[in-house]
Amino acid sequence: MNWAIFGILISLVSFGVAAYFYCWVKALPTAEGSMSDIADLIRKGAFTFISREYRILGIFVAIVSFLILLFFPQPFWNGNISTNLGMVGAYILGSALSGVAGYIGISIATIANVKAATAAREGLAPSFMAGFRGGAVMGMAVVGTSLLGAAILYIVSQDPDIVLAFSFGASSLALFAKAGGGIFTKTADIAADLIGKVELGIPEDDPRNPAVIADNVGDNVGDVAGMGADLFDSNIAAIAAAMVIAIPLGEIDLLFCYASLGLLASIIGVLFSKVGKNGNPSAALNRGTYLTCGVFVILTFAATLLFNLQFRLWTATIVGMIAGVIIGFTSDYFTGDDMKPVKKVAEASKSGPAFTILSGMSYGLLSSFPSLAGIGAASLIAYKICEPLGGSYHVMGISMAAVGMLSIVGMIMSNDAYGPIVDNARGLAEMCGLGDQVLEITDELDAAGNTSKAITKGFAIGAAGLTVIALLAAFREIVFEYTNEVLTFDMMDPLVFFGALIGTAVPAVFSAMLMMGVNRNSQIMVKEIHHQFDTIEGLREGKEGVQPDYEKCIDIATIGAVKELIPAGLTAIVITLIIGFTGGVKAIGGFLAGNILSGLLLAMMMSNAGGLWDNAKKYIESGNCGGKGSDAHKAAVIGDTVGDPFKDTAGPSINTQITVVSLVSSLAAILFITYSIF
Amino acid sequence: MNWAIFGILISLVSFGVAAYFYCWVKALPTAEGSMSDIADLIRKGAFTFISREYRILGIFVAIVSFLILLFFPQPFWNGNISTNLGMVGAYILGSALSGVAGYIGISIATIANVKAATAAREGLAPSFMAGFRGGAVMGMAVVGTSLLGAAILYIVSQDPDIVLAFSFGASSLALFAKAGGGIFTKTADIAADLIGKVELGIPEDDPRNPAVIADNVGDNVGDVAGMGADLFDSNIAAIAAAMVIAIPLGEIDLLFCYASLGLLASIIGVLFSKVGKNGNPSAALNRGTYLTCGVFVILTFAATLLFNLQFRLWTATIVGMIAGVIIGFTSDYFTGDDMKPVKKVAEASKSGPAFTILSGMSYGLLSSFPSLAGIGAASLIAYKICEPLGGSYHVMGISMAAVGMLSIVGMIMSNDAYGPIVDNARGLAEMCGLGDQVLEITDELDAAGNTSKAITKGFAIGAAGLTVIALLAAFREIVFEYTNEVLTFDMMDPLVFFGALIGTAVPAVFSAMLMMGVNRNSQIMVKEIHHQFDTIEGLREGKEGVQPDYEKCIDIATIGAVKELIPAGLTAIVITLIIGFTGGVKAIGGFLAGNILSGLLLAMMMSNAGGLWDNAKKYIESGNCGGKGSDAHKAAVIGDTVGDPFKDTAGPSINTQITVVSLVSSLAAILFITYSIF
């Protein structure tokens, strides 16, 4: 059985499901009145940003394509120009598919938000379904596209360099899309919150607030398009790393079999996800995840038995999946609003914002332990299980653990995209005055989205950790083929250690640059909002017919994000090249190791602390510790503001940064060997 | 020439200088009035805490001594009980000397504070001299004691295990002393600031504030005794790591020669440190540091020439010293109040506390890059310079770089202890109403202390980084001697990688636990202060003769700190043992590597962000961005509060945590080999 073909078939099925959901959502009614006008504004804003962002990224892709053509994997005068050309093609394909994934996400999300808001008038269940099926369009499209791309690539060419170039295209685009979207969304979110909630004491989505539409646009470009590009990239990178190792082992069938069955399991999970009339949306999302996991285990077990696949690799895959669930649980514990950490931070907020920050930061730091231990244990177990098979099966084990962790990514992505859709629906309901009962429903749907977002990030970060170990092995493999020398990255080697120190600092520099970008832009937007309140008469009082200039705020966020999205990622890439060309492949080995370690630590800390602060604020808003308007609430809002770029800009971009520098290293390996100083 | 004897002689000279300064300071006049009463309260509080802390630590030392007797370096039934006994002796000596260093520091600091406050009436110069010479007593005593201990130990026994046990005694005591002191001082500082500055808007050291004396006690037990124990430990660890490598190479003379000349250079630097009548105290401190560096370079160069020592090792030593200065400059740039970061953070504070936190955190993360790069470059250069000498000279090079970085520690420690003394003097001047002119002088002296404190931390953290690389080599050496197998810590080995992931998470967990301790305790103290203001009549209004219950607050800080000082450090040690007994020596290698990398990152980030927030607040208080009482000021106070445990509790404890787990690993190496599961 040719499992790559099977993968293509399953992808097509997932596109069918996506199309069905798309039509289903589109056919739902839209509330009369101002809603479609506002929805149009959001939609227009999102597409304006995306097209400006893609224009910049197009230039980037063109420049990199030219560089690849000249130099990668070898300078064209030394090697074979057709290899270079093939890499350019694969790189462009990866970039383009990543862009398509983001585009599809925005298309559906900016429709589903209105539908979910409208449906909330009928009750929780219809609104949930609109949000969830909207998200599922994204989930199915993203995973289908990545599997399709990988399968076609495999059928066309089995050269590891080509595969890595494809993955690099997806990852580098994801890096910038996430950074850009993350800066956009948090610029608007912070500015809107600071003026609305803190200064004026008006509700979150009050239409008087000039930043409120920009905030809703941000949900789409950051959380939908950005996160979509990220999970697309994670999935591609995991499959690509596994392919590089699987091809020489002749285990490519197993890889495509499991990846396809993972998508199939997700399709089943998505189709069966439902919430009872007054059911708990959080529980519904989790049920879907567990169902998908269960189906995946059964299907892969059966396939392994039936087609006589390697059982040790199956075990490694399942170990990875379980580790993903454990990391998800950890995120859930540290960020869930019925758990101790959230309550403790809310409690601490009563003593002032400094305690909100300190306690949240402490929990964020603590939360890194179980996740890192889980990733470490998964890689160790996967390695040890597959070691008896000999050859490079041990590394294949680790990379199958990454594939296993991402096996249910279709379901995860659906849950994740659900979040910003219902968040938007909440905004629309408030802006269009659909009434308190509707707001209550959308609030509940929104809170469920927050937790599932934290879990998604856990998966994405954990999978990146395992993938990058596999990529490190792929890097070593490439060096071995070229030099016939088995590289060891001994931490006692001063070059390795030097690289590790620099690699450790890179995620810190990268996330600092992103946060500074958000900082700068939201200060500009805050000024603009003050200006509007000062100059537009009747705006503050909410006089009938007086509207703020929403588009000015969307403009500020767009211009700022487009300006800031390149430098941070480029810095990481340039430092990688500098280390490679000075310290050579040994320094790069250390560099990547240090980069993974500190990257995972910071990513977990930031994502979980951010989610924790957000939910602590929500916990207080729901009437605890003094409730809305109390000092504790003010402190919690400050915590939430600090957490915003932590969890939605810097934190979740770090895993992409790790993947990108790993891929850059692998692609430039031969150049480093040939031209490095040491 | 026997350089160990020379070391003993120089130590005695340094004790002489310390005694001279002690008498000199003691002979200065004390202001009449309430000052000596308040000073007595501070002194009593400090000694009460220290004696309670030492009682707990005594029990800890007794238990560990018993364990060492039974199991280290080998279970007594396998090995030689007399080795175990020798180790117990060395361990107790290290602990005891570390305790003595802290005790001396508190003795002089609680005298010098009154003298400096009194002298401030005569002008800046006399007050500076009282503070500086008080600090120098500590500096001379700490470095003299550590050199004396190491030299005696070398003369008595040259067994590396004994040397490491001695260092472990110093480090483990430092770990707890710093954690305990750090929790005490920040508990009081935060509580005093929150109530005084934020709630009531009264000045920093207003005598109505019940926490104000506890705050001053905290400066002594945290910044003097804690930091003293830390630098004592860093110095010992650097020398011990170098000894383990130098003894088989026959380079012990060079080691003692340089260490002794470093102390001599510091003595000269300290004796010549002076400030002009209206001179700049910051410049005076820096001049002293540069003078010491210059003298050290000249003296060691001459000695190397004269006694025909190894020039490559000399170069490595100087490289280390230069790296230390670079790291110091970095800290100075990121925390200095005339630099861009402080101004930017002050500026951002105008938009609210969330921006204070975000921008400070971003700069903190950025600041890790030059420091980590500096450490990496120093170790790489030192290694490469000494590699041609063959044998384990390359590792000796790295450890001499650490010795070089700490060569001027006598001067550094003097500058550092100066800080809390003048801080206390400021408090006394305010509490006893010495007038605005005196306050202005003590404020200026205090600000200079803040910057020198940031530089000191940079040195301590950087030196720990280099020392631990040397300790990692020592660890490998021990394993080699026992198993005849050269260990490599290849990051592609799943055991090493597993260890590295756990090692990465440990500093995060450790610092989170410390910060949570501060959090808990200061909330208790805030409650107590509220209670006193509510129940003691006339306190709020400052009625003549009405005094708060200062001792209650001292009590709360003491009890809290004593309770919290053990768990965090013990957790780090226990995790090390668990990893060692499950994953064996390979996992420990990875564990230590991950621990160094993330430890350096977090330590630099926290220390610099904390110092930055403190000085941003001071910058605003001196009239910028709206000045005292403005919204920007309130935001900056929140930033400062978050920064307090960052920079004075967690951040500077991390380097000791790194050293301790390295030493534990080396001591337990044979046990790990014999009994580990993998």
Which tens digit of pLDDT belongs to each residue from A52-107?
899 989 999 999 999 999 988 888 888 788 889 999 999 999 999 999 988 999 99
Rounded Cα gap, residues A316 and A304, in angstroms: 13
- ipTM attached to this prediction: 0.93
Looking at residue B1, its pLDDT comes to: 60
Is B194 at the interface with chain A, CB within 8 A? yes
- The pLDDT tens digits of the residues spanning B243-301 come to 988 988 999 999 999 999 999 999 999 999 888 777 888 888 888 888 999 999 999 99
Between A357-366, B17-26, B625-634, the lowest mean confidence (pLDDT) is in B625-634
- The pLDDT tens digits of the residues spanning A318-364 come to 999 999 888 888 888 998 888 899 999 999 999 889 999 999 999 99
**Beta bridge partners of residue A490, listed in sequence order:** B490
pLDDT band at residue B340, thresholds of 50, 70 and 90?
A: very high
- The pLDDT tens digits of the residues spanning A360-398 come to 999 999 999 999 999 999 999 999 999 999 888 998 999
Query: What does A101-161 look like in DSSP terms, one character per residue?
Result: HHHHHHHHHHHHHHHHHHHTTT-HHHHHHHHHHHHHHHHHHHHHHHHHHHHHHHHH---HH
- Nearest-CA distance A91 → chain B (Å): 27
Looking at residue B146, its pLDDT comes to: 92
* Average pLDDT score over residue span B196-222: 84
CB B499 within 8 A of CB B591: yes
Is A512 at the interface with chain B, CB within 8 A? yes
Interface test with A, best of B372, B526, B606 (most A CBs within 10 A): B372
CB contact under 8 A, A505 and B380: no
Whether residue B228 has pLDDT greater than 90: no
CA angle B183, B186, B189 (to 5 degrees): 150
Looking at residue B287, its pLDDT comes to: 87
**pLDDT: is A62 or A523 the higher one?**
A62
Whether residue B467 has pLDDT greater than 90: no
Tokens of A452: 């599932």
Looking at residue B422, its pLDDT comes to: 92
CA angle B431, B434, B438 (to 5 degrees): 115
Residues of A within 8 A of B513 (CB-CB) are 362, 366
Rounded Cα gap, residues A86 and A464, in angstroms: 26
Interface test with A, best of B245, B327, B355 (most A CBs within 10 A): B355
Rounded Cα gap, residues A647 and A452, in angstroms: 13
Tokens of B586: 């390979």
CB contact under 8 A, A523 and B348: yes
What residue ranges do the domains of chain B occupy? 3-675
Query: What does B101-166 look like in DSSP terms, one character per residue?
Result: HHHHHHHHHHHHHHHHHHHTTT-HHHHHHHHHHHHHHHHHHHHHHHHHHHHHHHHH---HHHHHHH
At A677, phi and psi to the nearest 5? -70, -50
CA distances from B237 to A265, B233, B467 (A): 56, 6, 7
Rounded Cα gap, residues B530 and B528, in angstroms: 5
CB contact under 8 A, B504 and A601: yes
pTM: 0.94
Looking at residue B35, its pLDDT comes to: 87
- The pLDDT tens digits of the residues spanning B639-675 come to 999 999 999 899 889 989 999 999 999 889 889 998 8
Rounded Cα gap, residues B171 and B164, in angstroms: 10
Tell me what the pLDDT averaged over chain B comes to.
90
pLDDT band at residue A1, thresholds of 50, 70 and 90?
A: low
Whether residue B448 has pLDDT greater than 90: no
Percent of chain B with pLDDT strictly greater than 70: 100
Rounded Cα gap, residues B588 and B599, in angstroms: 16
| Residue in B376, B593, B645 closest to A498 by CB | B376
Of B383, B378, B139, B145, which is closest to residue B269 (Cα–Cα)? B139
CA distances from A123 to A22, A416, A420 (A): 21, 22, 19
Percent of chain A with pLDDT strictly greater than 90: 54
Of B499, B602, B357, which is closest to residue A602 (Cα–Cα)? B602
- Nearest-CA distance B394 → chain A (Å): 9
Q: Which residues contact A284 (CB under 8 A, 6 or more apart)?
A: A128, A132, A273, A274, A275, A448
Interface test with B, best of A197, A350, A365 (most B CBs within 10 A): A365
Tokens of A610: 């951010």
- The pLDDT tens digits of the residues spanning A235-292 come to 999 999 999 889 889 999 999 999 999 999 999 999 988 887 778 888 888 888 889 9
- The pLDDT tens digits of the residues spanning A585-639 come to 999 999 999 999 999 999 999 999 999 999 999 899 889 999 988 999 999 999 9
Q: How many CB pairs under 8 A join A and B?
A: 226
CB B412 within 8 A of CB B292: no
pLDDT band at residue B451, thresholds of 50, 70 and 90?
A: confident
Out of A211-215, B78-82, B190-194, B259-263, give the one with best mean pLDDT. B259-263
Rounded Cα gap, residues A355 and B198, in angstroms: 14
Tell me what the pLDDT averaged over chain A comes to.
90
pLDDT band at residue B544, thresholds of 50, 70 and 90?
A: confident
- The pLDDT tens digits of the residues spanning A61-76 come to 999 999 999 988 888 8
Tokens of B528: 């107590």
Distance of CA B275 to the CA centre of its chain: 25
CB A275 within 8 A of CB A125: yes
* Average pLDDT score over residue span B410-430: 90
**pLDDT: is B565 or B587 the higher one?**
B587
Between A159-163, A252-256, B147-151, B199-203, the lowest mean confidence (pLDDT) is in B199-203
CB contact under 8 A, A494 and B589: no
Is B279 at the interface with chain A, CB within 8 A? no
